[in-house]
Amino acid sequence: MFKRISQVIEKLLRYIKSMPRYKKIALIALIGVIGGVTAYFAILGIVTALGFTAAGIVAGTPAAAFMASYGGVVTAGSLCAILQSFGALGVTLTGIFGAGGVGLTAAAFAAAATAPEKKEDKHRG
């Protein structure tokens, strides 16, 4: 299965390298946007599934166990508070920057994958 995935990726990269530059730039931008949006909703889904929701922390979930580990004192800015804020509001600076980081990483990967290969200088010894 991994060999097949590797073959598909190699074929896709060859296709991308053969594209005109303006199409590569558009593709890189698209990958960045899709990566960022996907990461945002994936993170929100995971946080919600753990039990951090708009209604509060759900009893019997990993979120409840995590909150209990604080001994009843969850301070502002702690990881538990940040996750609950994200689960309740959905949009936080952490989520926005996290999603943006993933999108930029995807765009950087696409840019590196589509960069022209360096030609060796035959005059060097």
Tokens of 67: 């909150």
Per the prediction, the chain carries an average pLDDT of 78
Sequence spans of domains, the chain: 25-111
pTM: 0.53
Q: What is the pLDDT of residues 92-109, one digit of tens each?
A: 555 666 666 766 777 777
Yes or no: say if 95 and 40 are a contact pair by the CB < 8 Å rule.
yes
